[in-house]
A and B are shown apart, each in its own frame.
Chain A
Amino acid sequence: MPTSPSLVTINHFRMEFDTHTVIDDLSFDIKRGETFGLLGANGSGKTTIIRALLGIYQPTSGDLSIDGKAYAVDGGVRLGYLPEERGLYKKETVMTVMIYFGRLKGMTRSAAEKWSLDYLRRVGLSEKAKTRLDKLSGGQQQKVQLGVTIMNNPELLILDEPTKGFDPINRRLLMNIIEEHKKAGATIIFVTHQMEEVERLCDRIILLKDGRPSAYGTIADVKKDHEGASLDDIFVKIYGDHTESEQE
């Protein structure tokens, strides 16, 4: 049974790359079952936070925990992670890759196969099940990658710019799938630049600038703090006319 209302806790997190500080003394938490927007311009440190949370990066200082402890693949938390740098085994078929990841996530082969077929049917790729990934379009590969991410009903879903490369129709499909997981009680960390997606899905947000939070709270609270402005306007106001684009 969960003992804390927060699934993700970040305390005094600091991250330096060589002599450059990307994140500086950052603290926030993400509650169980909420959809949390991690927002910021390119280079603001969003992906760095995710990688440090998942143990891919070691923080320079501070603590990042999921369910009270540092993330480990065998730590008991069912994770679904769609990274910013994405790709799959391109020379393998769609089903081979989906079953492989399903098995890695603890599903039986038959369960992974059944789940994959259902998913592919839903996203209109059932005829591509035996097609090699490099024969699919970029958007189709993205759908397969999303499928791999949400296999085995993750309780923590981390999506780093999930709609990147999607056309409006597929973006809507993706948003519906995310909403379903939200309704099912999953905790979702949503990294994006798309403010309309944030308004539609997120319960709370943090907006980062120079490795520090410029805004943090529910969407209503953040808007209230900025005199009712839209999230787009708040973003532009915080960053000015242009954003940095070479860090991350």
Chain B
Amino acid sequence: MSGTYLLQNLIDGISLGSIYALVAIGFSMTYSILRLINFAHGDILMIGAYSGLFIMVAWQLPLWASLLGAMIFAAFVGMLVERIAYRPLRGSNEEATLITSLAVSIFIENLGIMVLSPQPRGFAIPKFLTKLHTINEITISNMTILIISLAIILMLVLTYFVICTRMGVAMRACSENINAARLMGVNINKVVACAFAVGSGMAAVAGIMLAGQYGRIEPLMGFVPGLKAFIAAVIGGIGSIPGAALGGYVLGLSEILLVALLPAAYSGYRDAFVFIILILVLLFKPAGLLGTLEGRKV
């Protein structure tokens, strides 16, 4: 095994991890405020990818417009889902919201199958993105560069939003103590809607990146990334935004590196590795890498 082999796999792992991280962040945001495990989050990713494709193909707009449009549309859908499915259940136990989110997920997937056909489609990205750069036997496409840098940019923007803006501070306050936040005059519905919008927007970007990288789009495409993002969020410490990002990278890197470093016969078991990593992390850090175990005040 050579250094270039390792480096090549590192790059691919970071690229995959970036996508997981973007999805996991949204997952963690809504969990931190509502203690809601939103299994429909992956399906928002699918909606983002399809709307991105629609903007590029039907309206012939460039990629940046498609990204922006998909973010806005997915944010809108995310808020709509929250308003219709989750808000009526606010204050009920976690099991009820969990089951509801599963129902929403099945609903969106079946709606997708009916409206969009169950057949996978190709997702063509602009030519310049498929261009390969080869340095020292390491190949990296413009698409990979875009994925990695876009994820970093979005995370920086999110960091600014959460630390410096009024809504961001309110969001952090809500994630810590939603009732105290209400007493400060924070409109919980607005904060929750905002968290759904931001998380869904990031999922939409992840959806387009995923579809672009692998060239495929289908109504059930969100299921696996949604599940992986949930695992990433748990690895990083569910409810913690930096934890979700870290968990995403850890997961992406370990998936690729384990396949790369173990004998070829084990390559088919990458999803099993994912769960082994999850179990190991939870064994040594039950709250996740960056999470804190805390009692919640009512």
Asked if A and B bind, the verdict is no
Q: Which B residues form the contact surface with A (CB < 8 A)?
A: none
Q: Which A residues form the contact surface with B (CB < 8 A)?
A: none
